[in-house]
Amino acid sequence: MEVISFVALAAGLIIGLGALGACIGIGIMGSKYLESAARQPELMGELQTKMFLLVGLICASITSLARSVCYHLCSL
């Protein structure tokens, strides 16, 4: 096998494992949000705003990772 095939395989693993970690983190964050909203319902709006902001930032970082890996893969 050539080096470029290993690079493509590594890029797929990097993007896939990064997305998997982000999904697990978002799931844990969502469960903690539900727990805290059940304990203190008066803070639900503030917590929801922060949770959605963090979800957007996590998704943007994964998208940025995928773009940079694909860019570097195409430049080889």
In angstroms, rounded to a whole number, what is the distance separating the alpha carbons of residues 11 and 18? 11
6 inside domain: no
What is the total count of domains within the chain?
1
1 inside domain: no
22 inside domain: no
At 31-68, the pLDDT tens digits run: 999 999 999 999 999 999 999 999 999 999 988 888 88
pLDDT at 29: 95
Written as one letter, the residue type at 43 is: L
Which residues constitute the domain of residue 68?
Answer: 44-76
pLDDT at 56: 93
pLDDT at 6: 86
SS3 for 76? coil
Q: Regarding predicted confidence, which is higher, 25 or 69?
A: 25
69 inside domain: yes
Q: Hey, what are 33's tokens?
A: 């949000």
72 inside domain: yes
Q: From residue 66, how far is each of 9, 33, 62, 69 by CA, in Å?
A: 13, 28, 6, 5
75 inside domain: yes
